[in-house]
A and B are shown apart, each in its own frame.
Chain A
Amino acid sequence: MELVLSMAIGVLAASGIWLLLRPRTFQVIVGLALLSYAVNLFIFSMGRLTVGAPPLMPKGGFVNPTAYADPLPQSLVLTAIVISFATTALFLVVMIASRGVTGTDHVDGKERET
């Protein structure tokens, strides 16, 4: 499982980085979204990968922490998901505003000079 997940993270990150370096705003926005998946999964996997034991505690009694998934990366990633939505929205708006102002969807606001 670890091998698959880490390879998945690698593919997501590689696609994200590739798109990040592209000249069109839409490519960059998709790249950022992919990169945020990769990063979220990466942070999430820094806890322990546990199958079938969500961090929901019994009400009272002794708790053996190692029997549950690590809650801390989960809460970190939860806020990261919401924030990455917000930044995507912000970037989208900047993108369409810049498109309206400059008339192009190139990231520099003008086509490459040849």
Chain B
Amino acid sequence: MIDQNLLLVLVLLPFLAAIATATLPVHAHNAAAWVSGLFLAGCLLVLAALHQTVADGGVLVRTIRWVPALRMNLSFRLDGFTWLFVTLVTAIGVLIVIYARYYLSKSDPVPRFYSFLMAFTGAMIGMLLSGNILVQVVFWELTSIISFLLIGYWYQSPAARDGARMALIVTATGGLCLLAAMLLLGQIVGSYDLDRVLASGDIIRAHPLYPVVLGLFLLGAFTKSAQFPFHFWLPGAMAAPTPVSAYLHSATMVKAGVFLLVRYFPALGGTEAWFFAVTGTGMATLIVGATIALFRHDLKGLLAYSTISHLGLITALAGIGSQGAILAAIFHIANHAVFKASLFMAAGIIDHETGTRDMRRLSGLYRFMPLTGTLAIVASAAMAGVPLLNGFLSKEMFFAEAADWHNGTWLDNSLPYLATFASVFAVAYSLRFIMTVFFGPPPEDLPKEPHEPSPWMRRPVELLVMVCLVVGILPGVTLGPALNDAARAVLGADMPYQNIAIWHGFNTPLIMSLVAMALGTALYLGFAGRISTGPEGPPVLHRLRAQRVYEWLLLRLSWSWPRRLHRAFSTDQLQPQLRLLVALTLVLGGAVLWGAMAPSDNPRTNALNPAFALMWLVGAGCAIGAAWQAKYHRFAALISLGGAGVVTCLTFAWFSAPDLAVTQLLVEIVTTALLLLGLRWLPRRREEIAEDKLLPARLRRIRDLVVAGIGGACIAALAYVMMTRPLVPNVGDWFLRNSYYEGGGTNVVNVILVDFRAYDTFGEITVLAIVGLTVFALLRRFRPASESVDQPEQRRAEAQDGLRDYMLVPAVIMRWMFPVMIVLAAYLFVRGHDLPGGGFSAGVTMAIAFLLQYIAANVRWVEARITVLPIRWMGFGLLIAGLTGIGSWLFDYPFLTAHARYVDLPLIGRIPAATAMIFDLGVFALVVGATVLMLIAIAHQSLRSARLREQDAEPEQKEAA
């Protein structure tokens, strides 16, 4: 079990490192490097501890149930193959961290770089270790997203932004295809468990959907591994800092695609379609990449295309899929990671110390940096496949597979020739890299004087080059066992042990190598001059670029077409949109309800009370009055609105809804106060707007009137039909029966709110808190219109005296009401569980108590005497409600389970004391906080504009003085 949990540690450590480094100061270069390095070293220790288990052929699995309904478990598994891969990723990660410490300049923000790098490592390890294919896609997309952030690290540069975006679009689109493929795979196999999927190869290959799954899967893998024709994002990603390129394009990001190809070979591979699609694409990529690499002038560009071509090689091997080919693919994954990381680092050193990466300007650097030069020469020899280096071995194995393995198709027959052809170019571009940069005449007018880098910047390169040599000379002792473990983990335990040796005799692969080396050297020597004066790409072909297609498509999809659609179907104006919305609702509602709207034969009615009808006569008058006056007489409209509100409130009271009546009345008060406060900031409108009398405006009004009339009539009809329908038993009856026995309260409405449906209420108060904060935030930056800054007429000095006189008595009353209101709020709150009241109405009452003080006196007077901290009220309210909910976990009940009982208090008597009351207390505090926050925020604007006035006045006074 400890081993299994170590797997979780392995995945978590890099993410923890990401969090740790994200919190460091901006310039803490050393600290960030140490933290990241140590966390990754921790990963390496874990891997070392787990090695024996996987070397014995064991598979470690740790599963945590995550979303069982989707059959999605957070499952991690480690076998020989993933062990090798994760070790590679982590080890090179440590070296990258050391290198980056010396590569980044002092002005580059540190936490961002290291935290992204660590998060990327974590995502990559998670992807490799996932034992559930859906989780694997999640981590897969995570690598795409974080690589976007890493490539765009220097976001000030347009090239970095474009490169990052291109990488994200291409790889994330592929990731979506992969998700579709995985979902289909899961459906075919009946499980998303990786082991089950890998074991069901026969079912998958025989399934009619196999070609679809294969196509989607390969799109995912090919886009990630930059296979032709999706290769173009990789050179664009070279705008990243070199440590990032060295990491992404050696051991991690692009290797994820080939990892997937090798991993899923048992499930999807072995068919003719697989061979043609994978080997065909791989060979095309190998050749295209190698050819273009020779013609690039940018050091990193050359390495980027070389990376593409080597990925093609691995892909081709995965397509062949024989035992030897899989072994060779895994071997080349490791070898390429090692020599390409060192080459990228060397290119970064050259760039860092000379200021340029252009091979046409670089020359003769060997005399300035002999050590770096030697390292780069050895590493590029490995890239070219020179004997005694690791690149040679896996390349030989590739040649052997290309020449020996046969299924008789034309592609298979041409494999040896294609492989040799690509290899010629590989030798030529490696040679070009070395010859132009390190040999020849001394460089002229470089941006910087070249010299050796600081020793620690070179250490990672030294180590990697040493690995190239050691693996190249002693392959059987060093990497052989781990490789065989890895290949067995992919292909099954019955695979015989394959010995990796340097010398196999004078055989076909060796002849192919020798031919390639001879021809490659000749190619370079023959055309060196013409290549360096030519364009950035092979003759003729450099005009054809996949990136152009991508850019053309992107422009259409993200700019031109949406704009055209927007022009055709949309408007910036609110009114037509709202009109459309209302009309659409009417049409759709009509379509659904047509025919079902017949009134019932035996309508259920209450006898009409004339008082009720009279009351609504007033109410309807108020509503129409509000609609009539809202444009020119806002105050009158507001009063009419209040009238309609009061009638609504009375209706609630009439039909046995005391809770609603209380709440509606209180909220009505607050709303009116709020709107009154807002009136001050609107433009005055006394005289008619001239255009309103013209015909178009009249027509508009008539049209809207018709829409509104139809809407009102439909709603009225619907309401009537629904109200007169016969009763059916509904869920409300259950609440009535059980509120006392289950919820311990007799006021069913309150019990529903704080007990049965407390979770809904919790969501609702959260919304209230968000609205309160939004109001507060919006008003912090509020700038009133210039004409509203002046003090309103009524408050100028001459009017002020009169105002003070007739506000005197109400002000005193309001002040004295304060304690009374608080007691009322407490009363409403405590009785809430059994009688009308509760947290909502108590909260609004409390808010009104505060509000009255603001009305009675001016803001400064009040705030000198009471301190209300609305945000704290809200925070504590939400906390209390949430903690009450969590509290029920302690007793093993679901979130927000309530417990009810009664408590005897001296003098007061028996009062309900349910835990739901504590929740209600949270509701109360939050409602107080949010309401007061909104009201005060708006009320304070007058203060601020007073301050603005004072500021304006000051300079004038100075001028006058």
Contact = CB atoms under 8 A, between A and B. Distances in A.
Interface string A70-114: 111111011101110111111011111101110111011000101
Contacts of A74: 657, 659-660, 749
Nearest to B648: A37
Nearest to A46: B722
B938 interface: yes
Nearest to A65: B733
Max chain B C-beta neighbours (<10 A), residue from A53, A60, A65, A95: A65
B637 A30 contact: yes
Contact of A34 (B603, B641, B774): B641
A59 B727 CA distance: 26
B747 A42 contact: no
A25 B324 CA distance: 75
B613 interface: yes
B720 interface: yes
What DSSP secondary structure best describes chain A's contact surface?
helix
B529 interface: no
A3 B656 contact: no
Nearest to A96: B681
B616 A6 contact: no
Interface string B707-729: 11101110111111011100101
Contact of A78 (B582, B654, B660): B660
B187 interface: no
B768 interface: yes
Most chain-B CB neighbours within 10 Å: which of A13, A59, A60? Answer: A13
A78 B715 contact: no
B630 A24 contact: yes
B573 interface: yes
Nearest to A27: B630
A90 B775 contact: yes
Contacts of B654: 51
B740 interface: yes
B931 to A, nearest CB: 8
Interface string B560-582: 00000000000011110011001
B867 interface: no
A8 B620 contact: yes
B713 to A, nearest CB: 6
Interface in B396-417: none
Given A66-B727, A72-B731, A10 B712 contact: yes
A101 B783 contact: yes
Nearest to B619: A8
Contacts of B691: 112, 114
A57 B659 CA distance: 14
A59 to B, nearest CB: 6
Interface in B756-770: 757, 760-761, 764, 767-768
A49 B663 CA distance: 19
Given A10-B713, A17-B708, A92 B607 contact: no
Interface stretch (B375-383, B458-466, B833-841): B833-841
Interface residues of B, number: 118
A1 B682 CA distance: 40
Band of interface residues on A = 35 or more
B129 to A, nearest CB: 46
Contact of A72 (B609, B671, B715, B752): B752
Nearest to A87: B771
B849 interface: no
Given A9-B716, A13-B711, A74-B657, A2 B724 contact: yes
Q: Which of A38, A47, A86, A89 has the most CB of B within 10 A?
A: A89
B156 interface: no
Contacts, number: 325
Contact of A45 (B627, B722, B740): B722
A42 B733 contact: no
Interface in B613-647: 613, 616, 619-620, 623-624, 626-627, 630-631, 634, 637-638, 641, 644-645, 647
B885 interface: no
Given A6-B717, A34-B641, A100-B681, A11 B749 contact: no
Interface in A1-27: 1-27
A89 B719 CA distance: 28
A60 B712 contact: no
B693 to A, nearest CB: 13
A37 B644 contact: yes
A22 to B, nearest CB: 7
B938 A10 contact: no
B482 to A, nearest CB: 62
A47 B782 contact: no
Most B-side CB within 10 Å, residue of A26, A47, A69, A83: A26
B252 interface: no
Contacts of A8: 616, 619-620, 647, 651
Given A92-B674, A100-B681, A53 B660 contact: no
Given A72-B731, A92-B938, A9 B719 contact: yes
A33 B674 CA distance: 13
B749 A96 contact: no
Nearest to B739: A57
B891 interface: no
Interface in B94-130: none
Contact of A11 (B620, B630, B660, B724): B620
Contact of A2 (B606, B652, B731, B740): B606
A7 B615 CA distance: 13
B927 interface: yes
Contacts of B748: 55-57, 68, 71
Nearest to A7: B716
B732 A72 contact: yes
Contacts of B779: 93, 97
B656 A1 contact: no
A26 B704 contact: no
Nearest to B624: A15
Nearest to A40: B648
Interface centre among B609, B681, B748, B934 (most CB of A within 10 A): B748
B769 to A, nearest CB: 9
B637 A49 contact: no
A42 B572 CA distance: 32
Interface string B841-863: 00010000000000000000000
Nearest to B768: A86
Given A66-B727, A82-B844, A83-B768, 18 more contacts: A2-B723, A12-B712, A15-B626, A16-B623, A22-B630, A30-B626, A30-B638, A44-B652, A45-B722, A46-B722, A58-B746, A69-B657, A74-B749, A75-B757, A78-B660, A81-B664, A92-B674, A97-B782
21 contacts: A5-B719, A12-B623, A17-B712, A19-B630, A26-B682, A40-B648, A44-B655, A57-B736, A57-B740, A58-B746, A72-B730, A72-B752, A79-B764, A86-B934, A88-B671, A92-B674, A93-B678, A93-B778, A96-B782, A100-B784, A100-B788
The 10 closest A-B pairs by CB, nearest first: A14-B712, A10-B716, A65-B733, A18-B708, A6-B720, A69-B656, A71-B748, A15-B627, A6-B719, A55-B748
Interface of B: 572-575, 578-579, 582, 603, 605-609, 612-613, 616, 619-620, 623-624, 626-627, 630-631, 634, 637-638, 641, 644-645, 647-648, 651-652, 654-660, 663-664, 667, 670-671, 674-675, 678-679, 681-683, 691, 704-705, 707-709, 711-713, 715-720, 722-724, 727, 729-733, 735-737, 739-740, 746-749, 752-753, 757, 760-761, 764, 767-768, 771-772, 774-775, 778-779, 782-786, 788, 834-836, 840, 844, 927, 930-931, 934, 937-938, 941
